[in-house]
Amino acid sequence: MWVLLSTRLRNNMRPDEPMTTAVSFENIHEHVVALDQSPHGSWFVDPSKHNIHPAHVKLIQPLDKPAAKFLWDYISASNLHAQVPFKNGFFRTVVKTKVLLNNTQEIKKWLYRLGIPFDKMVYLSWQPHDGMVVPWKMVVKYSEVLASGGGDLTIIDASLNWAVLFYHEGDIFLGTNEDYNADEHVKHEEFDSF
């Protein structure tokens, strides 16, 4: 009994508060909350801000604070951003593009050419209390929403074999350890139909 009580006190928990399972990539989907409970939720549901198709809104999985903190801590512990945009030597290849006023289509094509499968679930982390899980297709389709948010946004998968950084100065970076050749991933007819 004393061990349980001391663990609760050490973790700033009330003695009567239920113990929770630690967040991991295996159970992160159990930590999804409603969009209105997410700091960035209004971006996706407020028609005065952005026009996002209702079917796409359903694909957005905002994370509760413990899960968002888990993502933040995972990225921080890796030292991914020890330098801007990524720690030297973390990735074999780093490429970037610039967000400009009228280059939304070019940004979407650049993201599409990264070759990440559209149905791949990726993790978005803005702050320790703000994270989401979405399919990569949402990142490509609504890149202008993500780029307009201010602040930095890191997008990863659990392997950390690649990462995308929407940097607050208007750059988007890809770091990858995979073989990268943008021309290999281009299928214009598929992109144009999406």
The pLDDT tens digits of the residues spanning 74-112 come to: 999 999 999 999 999 999 999 999 988 888 899 999 999
- Alpha carbon separation from 66 to 40, 41, 150 (Å, rounded): 16, 17, 23
Long-range contacts of 2-5 (CB under 8 A, 24+ apart): none
Specify the higher pLDDT residue, 10 or 167: 167
pLDDT averaged over every residue in the chain = 83
- The residue-averaged pLDDT of 104-123 equals 94
> Looking at per-residue confidence, does 172 or 188 come out higher?
172
CA dihedral 92→97→99→100, nearest 10 degrees, is 160
The answer to whether residue 127 scores a pLDDT higher than 50 is yes
Higher pLDDT, 10 or 24: 24
Whole-prediction pTM? 0.82
The answer, yes or no, to whether residue 145 has pLDDT greater than 50, is yes
d(CA 117, CA 111): 11
CA 12 and chain centroid, separation: 28
Banded pLDDT at 48 (limits 50, 70, 90): low
Query: Which strands form 61-62's sheet, in the order they lie side by side?
Result: 61-62, 130-135, 121-127, 153-156, 162-167, 171-176, 93-98
**Domain residue spans of the chain:** 25-193
148 or 2, higher pLDDT: 148
Residue 54 — pLDDT band, cuts 50, 70, 90?
A: confident
pLDDT at 190: 45
pLDDT of residue 123 exceeding 60: yes
Residue 134 tokens, joined: 């979405």
